[in-house]
Amino acid sequence: GDSVTQMEGPVTLSEEAFLTINCTYTATGYPSLFWYVQYPGEGLQLLLKATKADDKGSNKGFEATYRKETTSFHLEKGSVQVSDSAVYFCALSDQNRGSTLGRLYFGRGTQLTVWP
């Protein structure tokens, strides 16, 4: 079945360091891919998404590229800030292109802590 495998955490970085959080997936069809972020005390919120191969999602300096050949959707940021400290979840939706009915499959989340 569909699934997401996410890099084990926690990840601890100094401010302005480069961030990569790895995410690979298993799916049939044409899934959409997502990164969600959960800041302390808040609900999950959508960070970025990509709906087809080679699409790049980006938001708040974060980027992820949908790589069908490697079934990956790694999250990157060139220079992290203390305010980026949060839990990051990779997810896929088994919706087919043009449909919005697909359910979400999440990874286990990666805790990121950024020190000043």
Partner 1 sequence: SAVISQKPSRDICQRGTSLTIQCQVDSQVTMMFWYRQQPGQSLTLIATANQGSEATYESGFVIDKFPISRPNLTFSTLTVSNMSPEDSSIYLCSGGQTYTEAFFGQGTRLTVV
Is 108 among the residues that bind partner 1 (CB under 8 A)?
yes
On whether the CB atoms of residues 92 and 33 are closer than 8 A, the answer is yes
Binding track over 78-97 against partner 1, x by CB under 8 A: -----------x-x-x-x--
Report the alpha-carbon distance of residue 10 to residue 86 in Å, rounded: 10
On whether the CB atoms of residues 27 and 34 are closer than 8 A, the answer is no
Select the residue interacting with partner 1 from 10, 42, 69, 70 (CB under 8 A).
42
Q: How far is the CB of 54 from partner 1 (least distance, A)?
A: 20
Is 101 among the residues that bind partner 1 (CB under 8 A)?
yes
Nearer to partner 1, 73 or 105 (CB): 105
Select the residue interacting with partner 1 from 11, 27, 74, 102 (CB under 8 A).
102
Nearer to partner 1, 92 or 114 (CB): 92
**Residue 39 neighbours by CB under 8 Å, 6+ apart:** 45, 85, 86
Report the alpha-carbon distance of residue 45 to residue 88 in Å, rounded: 10
